[in-house]
Amino acid sequence: MKGFTWPVLCSLVVMAGSCTSTKITSSWREPEKEIAVDQINKVLVVALFQNETSRHKAEDEMAGYLKGKGVVSYNYLDANFNERNEDALRDKIRSDGFDGAVTMRLVDIDKEKIYTPGYGAPYPFSYRNFSGYYYRSWSFLSTPGYYTTTKTYTIETNVYSIKEDRIIWSGLTETTNVDGVKAMTEEVVKVVYRKMVKEGFITNN
């Protein structure tokens, strides 16, 4: 085994598919780093969302895949702890026996408004003679056009080794037409996990 042990995302099972689309736009891993998924102590789960409700939902969703080994930051880092003190944070998570940390951060939301044109047809479609066609005005039967707004969420996911005190995997994903934070987290975790397995970052040994 190379490096610290880690089951991050190893038990992820994707729920039934939907119209949601998630793709990885870029990723990086520490060369030759492999993470064994069958051994773990504790993993700190952090969702860096400004909205506190969204943060709780995302962290709960991520921690749920870790089978009791994930610790949500909103409970672990209480209101009295100074999260901006880097040295204090590092000392605390090391002394409490964490192997690693997973962070998820909302980087950007892109909104695109798409217009779908309506359908219009002249009525009557034809006349028996030219004079009727010429002297009669046109009327139209039509279906009005409409706008739809597509939202694309860019999420940054990082994996950190606490023992080695450095980042070992990072990726950006784009998720379109997502229905809520829970669904978005499921989609991102699914795609990230598959990428990690495919490139050999996560192993089952």
Distances 13 to 10, 63, 73, 190, 192 between C-alpha atoms, Å: 9, 13, 23, 7, 12
Q: Is the pLDDT of residue 47 over 80?
A: yes
Can you list the alpha helix ranges (DSSP code H) found in 14-148?
A: 52-64, 73-76, 86-95, 130-135
Mean of the pLDDT values across residues 16-37? 78
Instruction: Return d(Cα 71, Cα 5) in angstroms, integer.
Output: 16
pLDDT-derived band at 9 (thresholds 50, 70, 90) equals very low
Domain 21-113+150-203 bears CATH identifier 3.40.50:
yes
Q: Is the pLDDT of residue 11 over 80?
A: no
Domain locations in the chain as residue ranges: 21-113+150-203, 115-146
The least confident of 66-75, 111-120, 170-179 is 111-120
Instruction: Return d(Cα 19, Cα 81) in angstroms, integer.
Output: 41
Q: Is the pTM of this model over 0.95?
A: no
